Amino acid sequence: MKTNAIRWSAVVLAGSVLTSGSALAQEDEFIIVQSTTSTEASGLYEHLLPMFQEESGLEVRVVAVGTGQAINNAENCDGDVLLVHAREQEEAFVESGYGVSREPLMYNDFVIVGPPADPAGVAGSSDVVDAMTKIAESQAPFASRGDDSGTHSKELQLWEEAGIDVAGTDGGWYRETGSGMGETLNTGVGMGAYVLTDRATWINYGNKGDYEIAVEGDEAMFNPYGIILVSSDHCENVKTEAGQQFIDWMLSDEGQQAIADYKIDGQQLFFPDADESDS
Amino acid sequence: MLDRTSQIAAVTPVCGRALQITRAGRVLLDVSDIEFGERSVTAIVGPNGAGKSMLIKTLCGLMRPDRGNVTWNGRPPARSDYRRLGMLLQHPVLLRRSALANVAYALKCAGHDRSRAERLALAALEHAGLSHIAATSARRLSGGEKQRLAMARAMAMRPEILFLDEPTASLDPASTLRIEEMIDKAREEGTSIVLVTHDMAQARRLADTVMLMHRGGIVEHAPTQRFFDAPATDEARAFAAGEILI
Amino acid sequence: MHSFAEAFGQAFALIVNFDADLREIVFLSLQVSLTAVLVAAIIGLPFGALLAVSRFPGRGALVVGITALMGLPPVVVGLVVYLLLSNAGVLGPLQLLYTPTAMIIAQALLITPIIAALARQTIEDLNDEYDQQMTLFGLNAIQRLVTLLWEGRFSLMTALLAGFGRAIAEVGAVIVVGGNINHVTRVMTTTIALETAKGNLALALGLGIILVAIAVTVNAMVFALRGTAERAAYA
C-alpha cells in the first residue's frame, strides 16, 4: 500500500511536469519583449499583438515591468526586444553594446493629475516646471513612482529643472510609493496627492474617482517610446531575426497605423513616431 | 508452517547476561542471568518500578542495556528475527487502518506477500473471534477489542516466544477472559509465553512458573504452585500474601 | 462604498460567463500551484520525516532554520530563482525563465520549508508513539519513514494544504519569474495585480473572490476525500 502511494505520486509528478513542460515547448516560435508597464496597462498590446501574430505567425510574449527593470532584464539577456520610454537610458543601453539601435516608435505625453480641490492651485496650467514649483511650495502631497521607471526618471528630471531637491524630503508632502504607475495612481487618488502619469495609462485607468488632469500641454512633458533589438553580440540566445521582424512591423506603415488606431473613449493614446527618424 | 493445528517446532532461546540499566545513578535493572526458551508460561510479578517491563523490553531489543548483552538463539538480536519473537506492548500501537489491515500489515512486514498476508490475517481475526470487526477502523474499536486485536496481531505471526506486558490491565472481566483464552490458545500451539502481570489470580491461572522482581532484580523464580504455597524468600512470601513491597 | 457589491457582481458575472481567458488563467494557477505542492511534498515530506527521526549534531539549528524559512518572502524567492534562471545566471541555458516551469520552481521553493517543518513536527510526535511497535514489526529505517508518513497522512494533508494555500495566493514570486505574460504565465494573482494597476478595482476584487472560491473548493475536496478514506479506513 505504501509503495503504491509512492508509485502514484511519482506518476502524478511525472505527468504534471510533462504537461507543464509541454506548455513551454511550444511549436510556434516566440520572442520576449521587455516592456514598460504603461503600454501593457493601457491595453495597447492586446490591440496590436493579435494583428502581428496573425500576419507573422510569431508569438510575442510581453514582460511588463518598470523601464529600469526592463532594461536590467534585457541586459541579463532575458528578452529579445526592449520597448521603453527613457531616452537617455535607452541610448546608454545601445552605447554599452547591449542593444543594436534605438528606433523611435511612438509618443504621447505626460500629465499631472490631481484632486478637484487643487490645493497647489495648478489646475489648467501648461507650464509644468512652474506647476511643480507651486506644488513643492504649497507642500501639497505628491505621489512619486520612486521605482526607477521611465516616468520616474522623467519626474526627477522635471524636479531638477524646477530646482527642487526631492531626495532631501522626508516623506512629508513628497511620497515615493516604489511601485508601478497604476499602483501609484491608486495610492495618489487615495491620499489626495498629485501624480505625474503618462496619458495612456491615465485614459485607461479605471479608478479615477473625482480626479482630473491638472497640468498638460507643456513640451517638456513629451513622452517618446523607443524600440530596441537586443544585440546578439552581447546575448548569444537573442532571436535576432524574429525580433527584427517584430520591430520592422511596428515601424511599418501598417504597424504605425495600428498604433494610431488604438483609441479609448475616442481618445488616441499613442502617436506614431517612426517617420521622424531623427528625433 | 502456519497451519493452526500444527505445533511450533522449536523455540528460539532468548537470553540475557549480566544486564544492567542505570538512570541518574539509580540501578533500575540488574539481572545476572536469565533465559526463556522452554515451552511454558512464565508470569513476571512485582510492584511498579520493579523493572518488569524494562526486563522484557531489553530482552526484546527495545531497550539497550548499559551493561551485559542479550542473545537470541546465541546471536545478537537481528531485525529479521522479529518474525519469531513477538511482544504485546503495554500500550500497543494500532495503525490508522482497518482491523484486518493491521494484522495483514504485520504479516507483510514478516515477509508474506499481500494475498497470503490478507488470508492469514483473516484467519487470525477469526481465530480471535474478531471477524465481525475486520473492516472497522482499528482506532475506533473499544478498549477490549483494541487489546484483542493487538493480541491477534502479535499471535498471527505464530511467534515462537511471545512477551506480554500487562495484557489485561484496565480491561473488564469479560475482556480479560477473552485475552486469557487467547493466551491459552497460543500456549497450545506451542508458543512460549512471558507474561508481566499485577493480577495474582491470573498468574495462578495461566503460569507454569512465577518470577518475582523487586528493585530491578529477580528475587525468586519458582513453579507457580511452590511460589504461592512455599515461597523461598521473605519478599515473595510478603508479595504472595498481598503485602506491599517497598 | 459600493465597491464590494460591485466586486461580487463582477465575480458573479465572471463565473457565469467563465470565458476562455479566465478558464486558461484558473487552469494555469491550479496547474502551477498543485504541481509545486507535489514537488514540495516529494522533497519536504521525506526530509521533514528524516529530520524528525534522526539525531545528529546541528539538528536543532536545522529545525529552527527550516521553521524560520516558513516565513520566506515570495518576492525574495522570486528574485533568487530569477537570478538563477536568467540568461545571465547559471541555469540560463535551460531556458526556463518566463515559463510555467519557472513559476513551479519558485513556488516549490517557497513552500517546501512549510511542508518540511510541519511534517517534522507531525512525524516526530508520531515517532515517539510508534517507535517500539515499528521495531517489533522488524522495519528498517526506510520502511519506518514510509510507515510514519502514511500513518500521519491526515495531519500531513493539512500541511500540504497549508503549502497549497501559500502557493496559490502568492504573487511576488510568480510575477518575477513568470513575467505575467498573457496566455503564457498569467495566473490569478498576477491578473489581480494587473487589474489593480489598471485601476479596475472591482474586477480585481471579483477575481480575488474567485481565487478564494477555488481555494475553498480544493480544500473541500481534500477534506471530502479524507472523510471517505477515514470511513473506509482500509488503505
Contact C139 B80 (CB under 8 A): no
Q: For residues A179 and A147, what is the distance between their CA atoms, to the nearest angstrom?
A: 6
Assigned CATH class of A109-221: alpha beta
Contact C41 A12 (CB under 8 A): no
Contact B92 C133 (CB under 8 A): yes
**Best of A20, A31, A47 to mutate (most C CBs within 10 Å, chain C):** A20
Domains and CATH numbers, chain C: 24-200 (1.10.3720.10)
**Averaged over A175-183, what is the pLDDT?**
90
Contact A32 C150 (CB under 8 A): no
Closest CA to B223 of B238, B201, B204: B204
Chain B nearest CA to C139, separation (Å): 7
Contact A77 C104 (CB under 8 A): no
Measured between beta carbons, which residues in chain A are less than 8 angstroms from residue C35? 13, 16-17, 20
Q: For residues B106 and B108, what is the distance between their CA atoms, to the nearest angstrom?
A: 5
Contact C130 B92 (CB under 8 A): no
| Whole-number Cα distances in Å, C157 to A26, A64, B164, C41, C179 | 34, 37, 35, 10, 31
pLDDT of residue B103: 96
Assigned CATH class of B14-87+160-240: alpha beta
**Is A26 strand, coil or helix?**
coil
pLDDT of residue A1: 43
Put the strands of the sheet holding B67-72 in their side by side order.
Answer: B26-36, B14-23, B67-72
* Subunits adjacent to chain A (3 or more Cβ pairs under 8 Å): C
- pTM of the entire structure? 0.84
**Averaged over C180-207, what is the pLDDT?**
91
Chain C nearest CA to B62, separation (Å): 6
pLDDT over 50 at A2, yes or no: no
Measured between beta carbons, which residues in chain C are less than 8 angstroms from residue B110? 138
> What is the tens place of the pLDDT at every residue in B80-125?
888 889 999 999 999 999 999 999 999 999 889 999 999 999 999 9
pLDDT of residue B184: 93
Mean pLDDT of chain C: 91
CA dihedral (C159, C165, C171, C175) in degrees, to 10, reads 70
What is the residue extent of each domain of chain A? 29-108+224-272, 109-221
Contact by Cβ (8 Å): A30, C146? no
Mean pLDDT of chain B: 91
Nearest by CB to C181, which of A63, A185, A204? A63
Residue with C-alpha cell 502631497?
A141
Closest CA to C17 of C212, C183, C184, C207: C207
Nearest by CB to B87, which of C129, C136, C233? C136
**Is A224 strand, coil or helix?**
strand
Considering the domain delimited by A29-108+224-272, tell me its CATH architecture.
3-Layer(aba) Sandwich (3.40)
**Averaged over A215-224, what is the pLDDT?**
93
Confidence of residue A22 (pLDDT cuts 50, 70, 90): very low
Mean pLDDT of chain A: 88
The three-point CA angle C71-C116-C26 to 5° equals 70
Nearest chain C residue (CA) to B108: C137
- Reported for C60-69, long-range contacts at CB under 8 A and 24+ positions apart, including other chains, are C63/C117, C63/C120, C66/C113, C66/C116, C66/C117, C66/C120, C67/C113, C67/C117, C69/C113, C69/C117
Q: For residues A230 and A249, what is the distance between their CA atoms, to the nearest angstrom?
A: 16
pLDDT of residue B245: 75
Q: Could you give the percent of chain A with pLDDT greater than 70?
A: 88
**Averaged over A261-273, what is the pLDDT?**
92
pLDDT over 80 at A138, yes or no: yes
Q: Could you give the percent of chain C with pLDDT greater than 90?
A: 76
**Averaged over B131-147, what is the pLDDT?**
93
pLDDT over 80 at B246, yes or no: no
Enter the ipTM.
0.90
Contact C135 B62 (CB under 8 A): yes
> What is the tens place of the pLDDT at every residue in B235-244?
888 888 887 7
- Residue C135, chain B, CB below 8 Å: the answer is yes
* Subunits adjacent to chain C (3 or more Cβ pairs under 8 Å): A, B
Domain A29-108+224-272 shares a fold with domain A109-221: yes
Chain A nearest CA to C24, separation (Å): 12
pLDDT of residue A15: 54
Chain C nearest CA to B94, separation (Å): 9
Confidence of residue A21 (pLDDT cuts 50, 70, 90): very low
pLDDT over 70 at B5, yes or no: no
Measured between beta carbons, which residues in chain B are less than 8 angstroms from residue C233? 96-98, 101, 135-140
Count CB pairs under 8 A between chains B and C: 56
Closest CA to C119 of C73, C57, C53: C53
Contact by Cβ (8 Å): A16, C34? yes
Chain A nearest CA to C126, separation (Å): 17
Measured between beta carbons, which residues in chain C are less than 8 angstroms from residue A182? 196-199
pLDDT over 80 at C235, yes or no: no
- Concatenated DSSP letters of chain B: ---TTSPP-----EEEEEEEEEETTEEEEEEEEEEE-SSSEEEEE--TTSSHHHHHHHHTTSS--SEEEEEETTB---GGGGGTEEEE-SSPPPPSSBHHHHHHHHHHHTT--HHHHHHHHHHHHHHTT-GGGTTSBGGGS-HHHHHHHHHHHHHHT--SEEEEESTTTT--HHHHHHHHHHHHHHHHHT-EEEEE-S-HHHHHHH-SEEEEEETTEEEEEEEHHHHHHS-SSHHHHHHHTTPPP-
Chain A nearest CA to C57, separation (Å): 30
Interface of A with C in 124-183 (CB under 8 A): 180-183
What is the residue extent of each domain of chain B? 14-87+160-240
- Spatial CB neighbours of A219, under 8 Å, sequence gap ≥ 6: none
User: Which pairing describes strands A271-272 and A99-114: parallel, antiparallel, or unpaired?
Assistant: antiparallel
Confidence of residue A274 (pLDDT cuts 50, 70, 90): confident
pLDDT of residue A27: 45
Confidence of residue A277 (pLDDT cuts 50, 70, 90): very low
Contact C198 A6 (CB under 8 A): no
Q: For residues A116 and C105, what is the distance between their CA atoms, to the nearest angstrom?
A: 48
- Residue C199, chain A, CB below 8 Å: the answer is yes
Contact A61 C179 (CB under 8 A): yes
Chain centre to alpha carbon of residue A52:
20
pLDDT over 70 at A16, yes or no: no
pLDDT of residue A278: 42
Contact by Cβ (8 Å): A177, A136? no
Chain A nearest CA to C64, separation (Å): 28
Contact by Cβ (8 Å): A223, A108? yes
Helices C20-53 and C201-232: angle between axes, nearest 10 degrees:
50
**Is A147 strand, coil or helix?**
coil
